[in-house]
Amino acid sequence: MAKKRRKLNKSFERNIDSSKKNIELILAKIFDINDEEIQKEYMSAFSFVVSLFDLLKNDYELVGFTEESETLMKNYKEAFARFESEHEI
C-alpha cells in the first residue's frame, strides 16, 4: 500500500518560520541577560513555549497540516503571548 502524502499549507509554513524567528530572538535576549539567576528564571519559563513550538513543528513535518496543527499553533501563540506579558524582555 502506498504511503499517504502529507497535506501542506504555505501560510502555515510561514507562521512556523515566523514563530521560529521569534523564539530565536527571545532566546538571544535571554542569553544576553547578565544576572545568572534571572537568566535561569527566564529560560525555565520560556522552555514551555519552546517545547510547544517543537511539538508543533515536528507534527507538521511528520503528519502535515491537520486540524490538530491549528490547535497546536493556537496553544503555542497563547503560551508565547503569556510569556511576553509576564516577563519583560
Between CA 61 and CA 51 the distance in angstroms is 15
pTM (2 d.p.): 0.88
pLDDT band at 4; cut points 50, 70, 90: low
For residues 33 and 45, what is the distance between their CA atoms, to the nearest angstrom? Answer: 14
- pLDDT at 6 (0 to 100): 75
Q: Is the pLDDT of residue 78 over 90?
A: yes
Mean pLDDT estimate for the chain? 93
pLDDT band at 83 (very low <50, low <70, confident <90, very high): very high
